[in-house]
Amino acid sequence: MMHQATSRTDPADAFIERLTDCGAFPLRASGIDILQLNITRRCNLSCKHCHVQAGPRRTEMMSRETMTRCIEVAGTEEISTIDITGGTPEMHQDLEWLIIKLAALKKRLIVRSNLLVMLEPAYRRYLDVFAANKVELVGSLPDCNAEKSDRQRGVGTFERVLQAIGELNQRSYGVPGSGLRLHLVHNPVGAYLPGPQAALEAEYRRLLGDRHGLSFNTLFCLVNTPIGRYLDYLKRSGNLSDYMRALQCAFNPQTVTSVMCRTTLSVGWDGRLYDCDFNQMLNLTVNSGAPDHIEAFDYARLAGREIMVRSHCFACTAGAGSSCQGALKT
Amino acid sequence: MNETYYERRDLEDFPHIGEYAPEPGAKFFEYYATATSAGKLTAREKALIALAVATVRHCPYCIDAYTNKCLSLGVGNDEMMEAVHVGAALVAGDTLAHATQMRKIIKQKEM
């Protein structure tokens, strides 16, 4: 198997050096616990930080054939969690069919939603479809300040997300003990890193709970990854250099063993395989030597694959670390 | 040698300030971490106090560090500005309170 280039001009150099310093290069997967399916890049929003660069004009949709193969793979014994993302998964015409098939596997089933799409008449049924199939929901709410949140996602989005959370709470989502889990996602509205997850979660609970009577299970704090629209913003605002330095200065060796790519396999809308959703947006498929398409899925060959790392990987190892499940160290 | 005393990247050197005197350096950082971490006061309350002090003390490094920390903790821009006004008011009050010395001297000296 070929190791990744380590020439001095390679943009991944700095990250590879840090991994080497802590004896973790090459970084390898330690199994596949989470199968993450990015089924569409279409979205009803065009958020300024979106690494997928999702929006209403995107047309990429996973085919029923590829979904069928994903369902077969999701049945693999070692895979405990199926994580559906996008874009906005609700805007894929086959999402309900997919959820019913995957729910039958009796595994942890996650859908990442912008939540407010479920207020639109065409997608309202998902409030009940998710509840009926005990889907765990992860909803974006970048800040609990309305003005800041709207600056990232669009005017009026904050109020609509609160309305959607209210509807979900009525169906027992986010209510402790109900078995219907609703997590929220915080990510900084600007060129800075998130604070401690526990402190921010307390602030979200204070503002959403005390002021609006809303509840949720957990707050996931995500570091913005410098790719896609967020990278464009960093360049446009003159923050790229400072942000990359901030990420590098915040490198935490203790996060390396638990970065999500070590236990995740990301599937693109066209069935191609990636180490994570970020690599997917950079068209950086799993490395040579391991199958790079769901049709050729081979657990044994993918479970110990070498992870493709680049400079954006610093976002997952900064401070408390960052993953699709929030901070790595709390 | 750079021609300016203050450089933005100096802030990155702060963790190495114990160089040449490691023992007091280590004790300082232990004290610093304890004093600025959440205790009876929350992390955001302490960050706002630190921001006000940093502004009053005109420390560009601390202003940079604690503005970013406040942003990271979800502190509102209006809350940050209110904290700076507390610092500014204290500086103004401190200045005016010292007018007492002037007034005492005037009353002593004038006929």
Task: Output the domain CATH number for residue B105.
Answer: 1.20.1290.10
What is the share, in percent, of chain A residues with pLDDT greater than 70? Answer: 96
Burial class (CB in 10 A: 0-12, 13-18, 19+), A282: middle
CB proximity list for A179: less than 8 A, separation 6 or greater:
A134, A172
- Pick A195's closest partner by Cβ from B9, B12, B72: B72
- Chain A CB contacts of B38 under 8 Å are 199
Residue B2 belongs to a domain: no
- Chain A CB contacts of B71 under 8 Å are 188, 190, 192
Strand stretches in chain A, DSSP E: 34-38, 81-85, 108-113, 136-140, 182-186, 218-221, 264-267, 273-274
Nearest CA in chain B to A193: B72
A292 and chain B: CB distance < 8 Å anywhere? no
Q: For residue A183, what are its two tokens?
A: 């997590």
pLDDT at A10: 56
Residue B6 belongs to a domain: no
Residue B1 belongs to a domain: no
Mutate to test the interface with B, among A141, A184, A186, A193 (most CBs of B within 10 A): A193
CA A49 to chain CA centroid, nearest Å: 13
With a cut of 80, say whether residue A20 has pLDDT above it: yes
Q: How far is B70 from chain A (nearest CA, A)?
A: 8
Residue B100 belongs to a domain: yes
Q: Which residue has the tokens 């198997």?
A: A1
Question: Tell me, what amino acid is at B46?
Answer: K
The domain A30-225+262-306 belongs to what CATH superfamily? Aldolase class I (3.20.20.70)
Tens digits of residue pLDDT in A134-161: 999 999 999 999 999 999 999 999 999 9
| Average pLDDT value for residue range B15-37 | 96
| Average pLDDT value for residue range A59-77 | 98
With a cut of 80, say whether residue A222 has pLDDT above it: yes
Mean residue pLDDT of chain A comes to: 94
The number of domains in chain B is 1
Question: Tell me, what amino acid is at A211?
Answer: R
Tens digits of residue pLDDT in A74-112: 999 999 999 999 999 999 999 999 999 999 999 999 999
In this complex, do B72 and A245 lie within 8 Å of one another by their Cβ atoms? no
* 8 Å CB contact between A197 and A327: yes
* 8 Å CB contact between A78 and A32: yes
In this complex, do B76 and A145 lie within 8 Å of one another by their Cβ atoms? yes
In this complex, do B73 and A144 lie within 8 Å of one another by their Cβ atoms? no
Residue B13 belongs to a domain: no
In this complex, do B44 and A203 lie within 8 Å of one another by their Cβ atoms? yes
Identify the band that residue A202 occupies on the pLDDT scale cut at 50, 70 and 90: very high
Return d(Cα A227, Cα A189) in angstroms, integer: 15
Residue-number span of the structural domain to which B58 is assigned: 41-109
Burial class (CB in 10 A: 0-12, 13-18, 19+), A315: buried
Q: For residue A112, list its beta bridge partners.
A: A138
Return d(Cα A181, Cα A172) in angstroms, integer: 9
Q: For residue A297, what are its two tokens?
A: 């899925």
Enter the DSSP assignment of A306.
B
- Pick B69's closest partner by Cβ from A144, A195, A200: A195
Tens digits of residue pLDDT in B49-103: 999 999 999 999 999 999 999 999 999 999 999 999 999 999 999 999 999 999 9
Residue B57 belongs to a domain: yes
Domain-wise residue ranges, chain A:
30-225+262-306
Size of interface A-B (CB pairs under 8 A): 37
When computed from its CA atoms, the radius of gyration of chain B, rounded to whole angstroms, is 19
In this complex, do B43 and A195 lie within 8 Å of one another by their Cβ atoms? yes
- Chain B CB contacts of A148 under 8 Å are 76
Alpha helical stretches, state H, chain A: 13-21, 64-74, 95-103, 126-132, 146-153, 157-170, 197-204, 212, 228-236, 240-249, 277-281, 299-302
Q: For residue A265, list its beta bridge partners.
A: A35
With a cut of 80, say whether residue A172 has pLDDT above it: yes
